[in-house]
Amino acid sequence: MIKIPEKIIFANLPTRIEKLERLSQKLGGPNIYIKRDDQTGTEVSGNKIRKLEFSVKEALNQGCDVLITCGGIQSNHCRATAAVASRLGMKSVLVLRGDSETELDGNLFIDKLLGAEIQFITPEQYKNSKAQIMEEIKGKLEKQGFKPYIIPEGASNGIGGFGYYNAMEEIIFQEKEMGVHFDKIVLAVGSGGTHSGLLLASKTLEYTGEIYGINVCDDAQHFKNEIYKILQESMKYIDVNLHISKDEIHIMDGYVGRGYALSRPEELSFVHDFAKLEGIILDPVYTGKAMYGLVEEIKKGSFENCENILFIHTGGAFGLFPQKHLFKL
Ligand SMILES: *Cc1c(COP(=O)(O)O)cnc(C)c1O
Q: Give me the DSSP letters along 49-85.
A: HHHHHHHHHHHHHTT--EEEEEEETT-HHHHHHHHHH
Does the pLDDT of residue 291 top 90, yes or no? Answer: yes
The H or E element containing residue 164 is helix 162-178
Closest by CA position to 264, among listed 215, 174, 326, 179 = 326
Q: How far is the CA of 124 from the centre of ligand 1 (A)?
A: 22
Q: Which of 155, 179, 208 is the last residue of a domain?
A: 155
Q: Residue 196: left (phi > 0), alpha (psi -120 to 50), or beta?
A: alpha
pLDDT at residue 1, rounded to an integer: 78
- How would residue 108 be classed by pLDDT, with cut points 50, 70 and 90? very high
Whole-angstrom distance, CA of residue 208 vs CA of residue 224: 20
Asked whether residue 150 falls in the same domain as residue 252, the answer is: no
Q: How far is the CA of 143 from the centre of ligand 1 (A)?
A: 33
263 catalytic? Reply is: no
Q: Which of 139, 155, 171 is the last residue of a domain?
A: 155
Determine how many CB atoms are found less than 10 A away from the CB of residue 60. Answer: 15
**In sequence order, what are the beta bridge partners of 96?**
71, 120
- How would residue 86 be classed by pLDDT, with cut points 50, 70 and 90? very high
Closest by CA position to 13, among listed 44, 32, 41 = 41
- How would residue 299 be classed by pLDDT, with cut points 50, 70 and 90? very high
- How would residue 282 be classed by pLDDT, with cut points 50, 70 and 90? very high
Give the residues surrounding ligand 1 with Cβ less than 6 Å away: 46-48, 76-77, 154, 156, 188-195, 283, 286-287, 314-316
| Cα 91 from chain centre | 23
| Domain annotation covers residue 147 | yes
Domain of 109, CATH number, reads 3.40.50.1100
The values of phi and psi at residue 69, to 5°, are -150, 180
Global model pTM greater than 0.85: yes
Determine which one of 55, 75, 202, 234 is catalytic. 75
Does the pLDDT of residue 29 top 90, yes or no? Answer: yes
Does the pLDDT of residue 289 top 90, yes or no? Answer: yes
| Domain annotation covers residue 304 | yes
* Stretch 150-173: mean pLDDT: 98
Q: Which of 191, 198, 214, 312 has the most ligand 1 atoms within 8 A of CB, as the residue to mutate? A: 191
Q: How much is the mean pLDDT over the chain?
A: 98
Does the pLDDT of residue 203 top 90, yes or no? Answer: yes
Total domains, the chain = 2
Q: How far is the CA of 142 from the centre of ligand 1 (A)?
A: 30
- How would residue 114 be classed by pLDDT, with cut points 50, 70 and 90? very high
User: Which residue range forms the structural domain that includes residue 161?
Assistant: 17-46+157-326
